[in-house]
Amino acid sequence: MDAVKLKSFIRDIPDYPKEGIIFKDITPLLAHPLAIQSAVDLMAEPFKNERIDFIAATEARGFLFGPSMATYLDAGFIPVRKPGKLPSETIAHSYELEYGTDTLEIHKDSIFKGAKVLIVDDLLATGGTVGATKALVESLGGEVVGFSFLIELSFLKGREALGNPRINAVVKY
């Protein structure tokens, strides 16, 4: 299944989570096994010939694709979570949202120095969440080799916030 067909499984939800936002809902895609597998394949394939030690994915929707991509790329999986959700010692990074701030955490011992890390999420919007994930990975000595997303909202210019690593987005709006 190609990106054009996958796009047909993504529905718009107007005014969610607040008025003026058009939410890109992937739950119809998740209801179809072939669509899920195609999404994982298209998100992982551009990186299949590279050394990837870890997939780092942000909760919650990044978790839907990250473990399968880790299996595809023969890599480990690292969850990046909201504060207080990880059981061992963590480091945190706070970042700006359009309506405030948020914080993400990662286990302190999750990445070895020099590890090659691919950051995964369902959606690239402004780049704040994955930018925070990048900062966490780099603070532990990991090297971000790229980013992979199911959806990119190009008009929000999130690529500009991420610097130079490779960016793969399957479906673009």
Quick: pLDDT tens for 140-158. 999 999 999 999 999 999 9
Distance CA 34, CA 41 (A): 10
Single pTM value for the model = 0.95
Active-site hit among 19, 50, 59, 98: 98
DSSP class of residue 24 equals E
Q: Which DSSP string corresponds to 121-147?
A: EEEESSSHHHHHHHHHHHHTT-EEEEE
Longest dimension (CA), the chain: 44
**Is 61 among the residues known to form the active site?**
yes
Active-site hit among 45, 59, 61, 143: 61
For the residues 147-172, what does the mean pLDDT come to? 94
Task: Parse the chain into domains and list their residue ranges.
Answer: 50-172
DSSP class of residue 45 equals G
Domain 50-172: which CATH number of 3.40.50.2020, 3.40.50.1370, 3.30.360.10, 3.50.50.60:
3.40.50.2020
